[in-house]
Amino acid sequence: MSRCCCCHAGQLPRWAAAEILIVGDDFPPFCYTDKAMKIDGLAYRALLMTFERAGEPYPMVRLMPWPRAHKLLQENPDAMTVAMTKTSERSDKFLWIGPYYQAPIYLYHLKSRAVQIDSEAQLKRYHYGVKRGGVDELFLRNAGVPDGQIDTVDEDIQNLRKLLLGRVDLVPFLPLEMSYYSHLVDLRSDEFAYAYSTGAGALHFAFNLNFSPERYLRLQAAFESVRSTPEFQQLPTQTYPVSAAFMVELGPPD
């Protein structure tokens, strides 16, 4: 995505402003480093389309553990993140553009393990593996699940391995995430099941509250312009092809 940087003497290119610090964590299939060590994913491609439409330079995303990314997002006025779930607790702490992907977050367990959750109060019966500092950890703590029943890690694949080893009972994932990770560990869709939904997972681009208002509005308008295009609508299957039958099995039981 090349751009000409030519300008008349004394003039600045239209995007000459503070560099946007774009942070995120390893969050496949939404944003991750592929085998060629290049960043890819549904969120990243949505970001590329939005920046191109807004006339912004090619976005450079820095992946790091989520607690560090979250800290930079809060402290740097020129910062944004490529993927954050918008919740009522977070709503007024950032500026938002999206969602570019929305689906329920489910708690999955192995079918070989008897798990039944009919209400939020019953969440306290089980042991969970979650990503450190993420929305799932916040949900479980707000539900009163004791600290000793919440294992936190930096990478979601660690949680799925703990599930297979019987070290945790449940792991929270969006359906597209569960599809991605279960393939990595050779876990068939008939070997695990849904137990409970923690709510909707609406993924957005999030910005520091002091982010440039003019730039934010330009990016917001660009996103609204591209979100209805066929290319944008096809991002889920382009970034991670998966059979429709498999995806259906990842959702709640009938």
Q: Which position has the higher pLDDT, 245 or 105? A: 105
- Residue 2, SS3 per DSSP: coil
Least confident of 76-90, 151-165, 198-212, 236-250: 236-250
CB 173 within 8 A of CB 151: no
Provide the 10 A C-beta neighbour count for residue 254: 4
Mean pLDDT across the stretch 158-175? Answer: 94
User: Hey, what are 25's tokens?
Assistant: 């964590």
The H or E element containing residue 217 is helix 213-226
pLDDT over 60 (residue 8) = no
CA distance to 158, 199, 239, 241, per residue, from 229 (Å): 36, 27, 16, 19
- DSSP letter for 110, please: E
* Least confidently predicted of 7-21, 61-75, 114-128, 151-165: 7-21
Res. 7: pLDDT tops 90: no
**pLDDT tens digits along 170-180:** 999 998 888 88
Higher pLDDT, 1 or 252: 252
| Top-level class of domain 21-102+202-240 | alpha beta
User: How far apart (Å, rounded) are the C-alpha atoms in residues 159 and 165?
Assistant: 10
Per the CB < 8 A criterion, the answer to whether 60 and 227 are in contact is no
Structure tokens at 104: 């329920």
pTM: 0.81
What is the mean predicted confidence (pLDDT) over 226-246?
74
User: Residues 191, 110: contact at Cβ < 8 Å?
Assistant: yes
| Three-state secondary-structure class, residue 174 | coil
Q: Please give the DSSP secondary-structure letter assigned to residue 19.
A: P
Q: Rounded to whole angstroms, how far apart are CA atoms 231 and 28?
A: 20
The per-residue b/e assignment along 43-64, b for 16 or more CB within 10 angstroms, e otherwise, is bbbbbbbbbbbbebbebebebe
C-beta neighbour count of 142 within 10 angstroms: 10
Q: Which two tokens stand for residue 143?
A: 């539900």
The tokens for 183 are 């393939």
Residue 6 has pLDDT above 70, yes or no: no
The ranges of the chain annotated as CATH 3.40.190.10 are 21-102+202-240, 103-200+245-250
Q: Which residue has the higher pLDDT, 11 or 17?
A: 17
Confidence tier at 225 by pLDDT (50, 70, 90): very high
| Fold category of 103-200+245-250 in CATH | D-Maltodextrin-Binding Protein; domain 2 (3.40.190)
Q: Which of helix, strand or coil describes residue 163?
A: helix
| Mean pLDDT lowest among 9-18, 80-89, 118-127, 204-213 | 9-18
At 198, the pLDDT band (50, 70, 90 cuts) reads confident
Q: Kindly report the average pLDDT of the chain as a whole number.
A: 86
